[in-house]
Amino acid sequence: MIETADHDGIAVLTLNHGPVNALDLELLTAVPDTLAAVADARAVVLTGSGRSFSAGVDLKRIVDGGPPYVEKFLPALSLAMLGLFGHPKPVVAAVNGHALAGGCVLAAACDIRLMSHGTIGLAELAAGVPFPTVPLEIMRHAVGPALDAMVLGAGRLSPHQAASIGLVHEIVEPDALLTAALRRADGLCAAPPDVYAFSKHQLHRPAREHIAAARPSEDPQVLELWSAGRTARILRDYLASLRGD
């Protein structure tokens, strides 16, 4: 589900979960567990297997599982994103293909984002569901004023478009992506680990404060909307449109 490899003290985590690394309860639960298992690594590189980094939430599981599944899924989503965002060591995303919706947020939760090809963007509103607080604030931290257009427009960005708003820091040829990500991770390790962790903590303070303030009121509304019967119907129609039915 998440493969791990060591490259001179840098942990490479590869999402390997179905054809497009869709985010379901099991994969999200594995994220904090895997980060804990590589806590002693100098840095982390996160990438995907196959043609996608991650195509986002497994919406079919949301529809099939109904409210009981959603009630477990949404907290797991927030916990996974927070674990990646708050990891004290350098974290570099090697975006090897499409990074959509939750996959885009996974990349945004990393300190540095390299991308080789594919598209990246937020499709939640197009699918008919709102953002939980944690993913929204992580995206706000990553792209600032560009977030409005990303959320409300629900479009896909090319690597060059993503670079123009700071969502992607470097565009790399596919064959060189992992090597470039390891190089960037190694460069970030030049700072003493405690200094890097403290600096990251300072930079993330506004996002964490917004999360703490908004979650008690917003996340129950998000759960209600994701669990609604109307949402299930919208998601079925959205999935059918993706299949071309």
User: DSSP H helical segments within 41-122, as ranges?
Assistant: 59-85, 102-108
**Amino acid, single-letter form, for residue 169:** H
Structure tokens at 33: 């567990």
**Amino acid, single-letter form, for residue 216:** P
pTM of the model: 0.95
Q: What is the mean pLDDT of residues 32-43?
A: 98
Q: Would you place residue 243 in the very low, low, confident or very high pLDDT band (cuts 50, 70, 90)?
A: confident
Q: What is the DSSP string of 200-218?
A: HHHHHHHHHHHHHHHHHHH
- Residue 183 confidence (pLDDT): 98
| 113 close to 169: Cβ distance less than 8 angstroms | yes
Q: Order of strands, edge to edge, in the sheet holding 91-95?
A: 2-7, 10-15, 43-48, 91-95, 112-115, 170-171
- Residue 110 confidence (pLDDT): 98
SS3 content of the chain, % helix, strand, coil (to 5): 60, 15, 25
124 catalytic, yes or no?
Answer: yes
Q: Is 137 exposed, middle or buried (0-12, 13-18, 19+ CB in 10 A)?
A: buried
Q: What is the mean pLDDT of residues 213-221?
A: 97
Catalytic residue among 124, 137, 173, 218: 124
CA nearest to 219, candidates 71, 105, 106: 71
